[in-house]
Structure 1
Amino acid sequence: MISERQPRQGAQAIRRALSVLRLLAAGRDTGVPLSEVVKATALSRPTVHRIVHVLIEEGIVERNAAGRYAIGGQVGELALARPSRSPLLVAAEPHLARASEVLGDTLFLTVRTGLDTLSVARRIGAYPIQVLSIEVGARRPLGVSSAGVAILAALPATEARKIVATNAVRFEPYRTTPAVVLARIQAARRRGYGIADVGLVQGTKSISVWIKNPDGAPVAAITLSAIRNRLGPRREADVADTLLATARAVEMEMAG
């Protein structure tokens, strides 16, 4: 009995540490207070404190002058072990460049990583007013952005609802709720793509389409963000068609 329990306990400890790391990654250089990590993970404060303390000892986490916790320098060093770009990025880049040239607005490539979305690429268009609301490296809970909604819409309904419920407490800083997110997911399924009528910046609007891997699982999304008067009903449909065609081209590229 003891030998069976220990591996399970070890796996649980690793999963808890990873959940803490993902939350800290969302805080980027600013960091995240311990209380927020406790609230978002539903772990006890002593457990979170113990995990963070070990990660600090290993150089994976740092505590800044404001008393907040952030990803440490050792993570960047570990990332150097894999300098090559992901197959998704390699497949997507030429298609993103082409779509950005055609549409003229900023395009973002966002991937799913666990319960989060991570912005991994950005293409700035030629239109004089560009929306640069999302930086490469920005991490957010799945469901907050139009990209996250699009990815969730492409998942089985049961799995999407489970993710939304798990992320519920993390939605509060973004001024949204599970009910709102679920409604947006349903609308994206009906429409075939996700829309954020109010983007991360006031006066902007975003359209997102999902990308599936060869196994059929949604792994990423392409998002166009623009000022609202650039995305009226007629152009919205044209932009959505271009983004959908781009996503299908990326999928075909990944399938070889």
Structure 2
Amino acid sequence: MTNGRLKARGRGPLQGGQAIRRALAVLRALAVGRETGVSLAEVVQATSLTRPTVHRIVHVLIEEGIVERSDRTGNYVIGHQVPELALARPSRSPLLIAAEPHLASASAQLGDTIFLTVRTGLDTLCVARRIGSYPIQVLSIEVGARRPLGVSSAGVAILAAMSAPEARKIVLANEARFRAYRTDTPTVLGQIQLARRRGYNLRDVGLVQGTKSLSAWIRTPDGQPAAAITLSAMRNRLNPRRTIEVADVLVAAARAIEAATPA
């Protein structure tokens, strides 16, 4: 091992690494589509790979049962073999177990839907959702939905908890993927800076039109930004005064989750 990177018999980086990373990038792009799937053109746009490369990777993954093609839409979706492989892992993480009572408490106190989103590589993944009691709920994202870091309120919050160089590196790595979500690198970097100053992230325009979102970051016991707790609501539910109240509740819940997460 040299400079923290594996070497293959002293001949440079592990052979085949680029091909594996490209295949993983394709899988992450497909995961965004969930049940409806993603077209080949959308995968090309999300990954910045050439169309022939994406086509080749997708068809190898189909041969291996990792990806399937919908007969109805022609879109590509994650195959049934992937959940089967996931059974080899524990079903719930210590972070999720620690967070559950605090998600329920925050949702009951505020009346709106609360989400828990975790970082996974260059993406965010929604792992829990608690629906509130208010008659109009904003279900802006489903459990299992994946987004590039920097696209959602939670993603910006997680990036804001990192050092500026680390956050910028991730944003630049996701730059090509931002176009599909109608944002760009300068916008995301500006949102991160504002979230750092506030101590939480406030998104004036949520993933659903007419909504707002507020997120507080959560760190692991060793201090690494790992997740965010988010409230999404109709815009008139988050006026300036209530925004402060919601921020206080979410930041307190985030700190309680950190304290309850085992090292």
TM-score class, shorter-chain normalisation, is: over 0.9
Give per-residue Cα distances to partners, 1:162-184, cap 9 Å, x unaligned: 21122122112221111111111
For 1:222-237, list aligned pairs within 5 A.
222-237=229-244
Q: Which stretch of the first structure deviates more once superposed, 218-227 or 26-35?
A: 26-35
Secondary structure of the corresponding residue to residue 219 of structure 1: strand
- Alpha-carbon separation, structure 2, partners of 1:86 and 1:222: 15
> How many Å apart are 1:81 and its aligned residue?
2.2
For 1:135-174, list aligned pairs within 5 A.
135-174=142-181
Partner of 1:125: 132
Q: 1:208 aligns with which of 215, 219, 231?
A: 215
- Alpha-carbon separation, structure 2, partners of 1:141 and 1:254: 25
Gaps of 5+ in 1: none
Partner of 1:40: 46
Identity of aligned residues (%): 73
Q: 1:180 aligns with which of 180, 183, 187?
A: 187
- Alpha-carbon separation, structure 1, partners of 2:11 and 2:28: 26
> How many Å apart are 1:35 and its aligned residue?
2.6
> How many Å apart are 1:45 and its aligned residue?
2.9
Q: Which stretch of the first structure deviates more once superposed, 244-253 or 44-53?
A: 44-53
For 1:1-256, list aligned pairs within 5 A.
3-5=9-11, 8-65=14-71, 66-255=73-262
> How many Å apart are 1:83 and its aligned residue?
4.6
> How many Å apart are 1:33 and its aligned residue?
2.0
- Alpha-carbon separation, structure 1, partners of 2:52 and 2:234: 46
Closer, same or farther: CA 177–5 of 1 in aligned 2, 3 Å:
same
- Alpha-carbon separation, structure 1, partners of 2:94 and 2:131: 22
Is contact 2:8-2:15 (8 Å) kept? no
Closer, same or farther: CA 227–158 of 1 in aligned 2, 3 Å:
same
How many residues are treated as equivalent by the alignment? 256
Partner of 2:3: none
Q: Which stretch of the first structure deviates more once superposed, 80-89 or 229-238?
A: 80-89
- Alpha-carbon separation, structure 2, partners of 1:41 and 1:3: 30
> How many Å apart are 1:130 and its aligned residue?
1.0
> How many Å apart are 1:219 and its aligned residue?
0.7
Secondary structure of the corresponding residue to residue 248 of structure 1: helix
Q: Which stretch of the first structure deviates more once superposed, 203-212 or 39-48?
A: 39-48
> How many Å apart are 1:6 and its aligned residue?
8.2
Closer, same or farther: CA 158–2 of 1 in aligned 2, 3 Å:
closer
Gaps of 5+ in 2: 1-6
- Alpha-carbon separation, structure 1, partners of 2:33 and 2:8: 38
Is contact 2:45-2:180 (8 Å) kept? no
